[in-house]
Each structure stands twice: as structure tokens, then as C-alpha cells.
Amino acid sequence: MSWAEYVEKTEWKNHADLKAAFPSADYVGNDRYVFNISGNKFRLVTIVVFFQGFLHIRFVGTHAEYDKIKDIKNI
């Protein structure tokens, strides 16, 4: 099952639920979470609003591209 398929079927109620499923995910503020993909070669930045069951992908790119983002909280 892909990451996207898993997330579509999952209903996280809070930060603890998300971290239980993806321990390496990092909360970076302003409802943004960063997921490491493919052995940390890529980064996925999402907005997660738990009470609405909402996840929106804001960025997908290499670790090097991610490092160039100046304001991750507002991407």
C-alpha cells in the first residue's frame, strides 16, 4: 500500500495518532508536518487539520530542495 492509499484510509484524531503511524514525521508549526520519503531522500510537507480530517500536500521534493525553503511554516 502506498503512502497516499494509507493516508486516504486513515483517520488521525490528533498528533499522537499521526506520530504512531509515522514516527519520523515532524511537526514544524502552523499545522505543517514533514514526512521523510524513500530513506530521507525526499521530503513531503503537508497541512494536517485533525478536527476536519483534512490533509493537503504543500511540497514534494528532494531533501536538498526542502533545505532551500526559507519559511516552512507558511509554504
User: 3-class DSSP state for residue 18?
Assistant: helix
Q: How far apart are CA 10 and CA 16, in angstroms?
A: 13
Residue whose C-alpha cell is 509515522: 22
pLDDT digits (tens, 9 = 90+) for 39-68: 889 999 999 999 988 999 999 999 999 999
Overall domain count for the chain: 1
- Does 16 have pLDDT greater than 90? yes
Q: For the whole model, what pTM was predicted?
A: 0.90
Residue 1: its pLDDT value, please?
A: 80
Burial of 74 (0-12, 13-18, 19+ CB in 10 A): exposed
Domain limits for position 56: 3-74
Residue 39: its pLDDT value, please?
A: 86
Q: Where are the beta strands (DSSP E) in 1-75?
A: 26-29, 32-37, 42-49, 54-62
- State the Cα torsion 33-6-61-23 to the nearest 10°: 40
| Percent of the residues in the chain that have a pLDDT greater than 90, as a whole number | 76
